[in-house]
Chain A
Amino acid sequence: MKLSHEDHKKMLYWMILGRRIEEKITLLFKEGRMRGHHHPGVGIEAVHVGTCYGLGKDDYIVPSHRGKLPELMMGVGLDYLLAGYYNRREGLGGGRVPTGSHMYGDMSKHVIPGSGIIGSLIPVATGAGLGIKLKKERGVVLAFFGDGGANRGDFHEGLNMAAAFKLPVVFVLQNNSYSISVSLRQSTGLTRLSKRAEGYGMPGVTVDGCRVLEVYEEAQKAIARARSGKGPTLLECMWHRWTGHSISDADVYRTDKERAEGEKRCPVGTFKKECIAKKTITKREYEEMERRAKEEIEEAVRYCEKECTDPDPADVLRGVYSQG
């Protein structure tokens, strides 16, 4: 799909919204208004918007634990998502699932619940692709995971089977070069994880995951390939994690220099500058987007804190089995 100025505007808005949501949630945790886990997705916006922009109602995603944009872009409401974070009855999962994006899913929006076990959902994404193929539907599955997840056996088995059966799956490897504190250098003998694709007999591409249009272009190729029955692609998106692994992580293992270098590649700032330079938007329009995002988030927070209710503790018993 050729992108119009309107598309660029929408993409920029998603990226701003994603950034501000992550910042807000981090703040809510620090203020003690939310509890559990949070793995901030600051810096990952271009990966998510570049891959998910333009997905249709036939498509599925398997989110990773970082970042909320894939879920939101599939149509999960921000208030519904956030109410889940707040453990509210009205929220996603009925307020029962772990905060952070472990095991958040909404099958009515084709969002398969992510997992707290890193990489564990890769074979499940393969299976969703198998299901789509067997049902002769046109959907594509986007599976999100990180460079740490790519070192799990699940990655190997999931990618191998997907390639063997030519399944409509795009494996989105969100590479920030760290599994919590252990660097990629220390975890693998490769520098480009996309090279592993060759070993499975599928294309592997590495893109700058901080440039949304580059991600989009490669994602579209992979999606088109998957949709046409040619099989999966491993799409490696290089990005910089602006925070520690989670809000409990003080990030003592990276240098200030490394962080500063990474932050120079800010995906939101870069795309904003491009849009202004190309006159896709004016500075004022950008400010208006920031205001809208803030308003949207504040409204969702207000809804969760003021309007939503606590689940009944006995709700834990509901839905373990189909009969109960």
Chain B
Amino acid sequence: MKEITYLEAINEALFEEMEKDERVFVMGEDVAVGYGGGGVFGVTRGLADRFGKNRVIDTPLSEVAICGAAIGAALVGLRPVAEIMFADFLSIIMDQLVNNAAKMRWTLNGEWDVPIVYRAAYGAGIGAGFHHSQSFEAWVAGIPGLKVVMPSDPRDAKGLLKTAIRDNDPVIFLEHKLLYKRASGPVPKEEYTIPLGKGEIKRSGSDLTIIGTGAMVRLALDAAEELEKKGVSAEVLDPRTILPLDTELILESVKKTGRAVIVQESPVFGGFGGEIAAMLADRAIDYLDGPVKRVGSLFTPIPNWIEMEKFYLPSVEKILDAAGEVIRY
């Protein structure tokens, strides 16, 4: 094992997969140099030096063209990793994603691969404001044909990205920008991958299951620590990919604990937590000892003043409040 950051983990995955398969190439805005040495955050640092400008392609500021061009390149046999600098820009490329990328395989009678990874930095917490902080995972998770990955730590980020690049379907790979340099953790030195659609118990517990992805996992773990002090044993479950979703792991955990709190960074209404809650209502109702609670952001644009952003976002306190309600029910 070695200790690296979330950003370094993603960078390593790109390096290794580009080394392994010459069909893999990276394209996007500022990916060759940027102001992070490769990308605006530095995720693609060093790739252009190693693989050259033909495989690390700086594009015009044209998200629709980036998204569409990745589809065309994939159809003629390459394996593009397209960077959408901020996940907020998924709003710009929805037509290409939804109407083209997601439907190509089906339209071609299931006979042609569409291997694309769309990497995008999402999430709030750094005061980047409402055009550079949003969480749109629920939008794309509602589209048959796409896959949606939201890693919460370096090990998962690396293993899942490697799998996403080898996958033959379009994958939306959502990287939480708050985690890039703030999250570090152990990563195996040897080659490994993590399958899409397999969640992981990040902390075992018996009284309550807290479900979250991305930056919400850290909050859930911190909340679990607090609950421990009060004598409540909380399990933290990270589905890691929301499409496909590891429903079996969620059911198994909630049937064991009898209680569920779902934490998501998007506003509660219309978010992906509703899908999990509905699934639990449908398939685990007899096991529930209290209401399924959702913790999410407020139904407002994302503010950038730090105190207001904290007020807006899910927090350990908000998770504890929700957990208390479920436990006291």
* Chain A residue contacts of B147, Cβ below 8 A: 321
Seed contacts A124-B72, A157-B62, A322-B113; 9 additional CB < 8 Å A-B pairs: A115-B100, A116-B99, A127-B74, A128-B76, A130-B69, A131-B75, A154-B64, A157-B64, A322-B167
* Chain A residue contacts of B60, Cβ below 8 A: 157, 160-161, 164
Q: Which of B70, B76, B95, B145 contacts A117 (CB 8 A)?
A: B95
- A63 to B76: give the CA distance in the assembly, Å: 16
Is the beta-carbon distance between A120 and B112 smaller than 8 angstroms? no
Q: Mark B7-49, 1 if CB is under 8 A from A, else 0.
A: 0000000000000000001000000000000000000000000
- A141 to B62: give the CA distance in the assembly, Å: 20
Listed stretches A3-11, A102-110, A177-185, A266-274; interface member: A102-110
- A112 to B78: give the CA distance in the assembly, Å: 15
User: Is A121 at the interface (CB under 8 A from chain B)?
Assistant: yes
Is the beta-carbon distance between B76 and A135 smaller than 8 angstroms? yes
Known: A93-B108, A116-B99, A322-B169. A128 touches B75 (CB 8 A): yes
- A97 to B77: give the CA distance in the assembly, Å: 23
- Which chain A residue lies CB-closest to B71? A124
* Chain B residue contacts of A158, Cβ below 8 A: 64-65, 68
Is the beta-carbon distance between A131 and B96 smaller than 8 angstroms? no
- Report the minimal beta-carbon distance from A8 to chain B, rounded to whole angstroms: 32
Chain B interface residue count: which class? Answer: 35 or more
User: Is A318 at the interface (CB under 8 A from chain B)?
Assistant: yes
User: Is A60 at the interface (CB under 8 A from chain B)?
Assistant: yes
- Residues on A close to B: CB < 8 A? 60, 92-94, 96-97, 103-108, 112-113, 115-117, 120-132, 134-135, 139, 141, 153-154, 157-158, 160-161, 164-165, 318-322
- A208 to B174: give the CA distance in the assembly, Å: 48
- A58 to B247: give the CA distance in the assembly, Å: 45
Is the beta-carbon distance between B77 and A124 smaller than 8 angstroms? no
* Chain B residue contacts of A319, Cβ below 8 A: 105-106, 108-111
Q: Which of A106, A120, A123, A131 contacts B77 (CB 8 A)?
A: A131
User: Is B54 at the interface (CB under 8 A from chain A)?
Assistant: yes
Known: A105-B107, A161-B59, A319-B111. A126 touches B69 (CB 8 A): yes
User: Is B104 at the interface (CB under 8 A from chain A)?
Assistant: yes
Q: Which of B89-123 contact A (CB under 8 A)?
A: 95-96, 99-100, 103-113
Is the beta-carbon distance between A131 and B95 smaller than 8 angstroms? no
Is the beta-carbon distance between B168 and A322 smaller than 8 angstroms? yes
- A161 to B58: give the CA distance in the assembly, Å: 11
- A141 to B64: give the CA distance in the assembly, Å: 19
How many A-B residue pairs have C-beta atoms within 8 angstroms? Tell me: 143
- Report the minimal beta-carbon distance from A47 to chain B, rounded to whole angstroms: 22
- Residues on B close to A: CB < 8 A? 25, 54-55, 57, 59-60, 62, 64-65, 67-78, 80, 95-96, 99-100, 103-113, 144-145, 147, 167-169
* Chain B residue contacts of A96, Cβ below 8 A: 106, 109
* Chain A residue contacts of B77, Cβ below 8 A: 131, 135
Known: A154-B64, A157-B64. A128 touches B72 (CB 8 A): yes
Supply 24 A–B pairs (Cβ within 8 Å), ascending by A: A103-B103, A107-B108, A117-B100, A120-B95, A123-B69, A123-B96, A124-B68, A124-B69, A127-B72, A130-B69, A130-B72, A131-B74, A135-B78, A153-B64, A157-B62, A157-B68, A160-B62, A161-B60, A320-B106, A320-B144, A321-B105, A321-B147, A322-B168, A322-B169
- Report the minimal beta-carbon distance from A123 to chain B, rounded to whole angstroms: 3
- Report the minimal beta-carbon distance from A263 to chain B, rounded to whole angstroms: 35
Is the beta-carbon distance between B76 and A322 smaller than 8 angstroms? no
- Which chain A residue lies CB-closest to B116? A127
* Chain B residue contacts of A161, Cβ below 8 A: 59-60, 62, 65, 69
Known: A120-B100, A322-B113. A128 touches B73 (CB 8 A): yes
- Report the minimal beta-carbon distance from A158 to chain B, rounded to whole angstroms: 6
- A131 to B77: give the CA distance in the assembly, Å: 7
- Which chain A residue lies CB-closest to B147? A321
Is the beta-carbon distance between A124 and B145 smaller than 8 angstroms? no
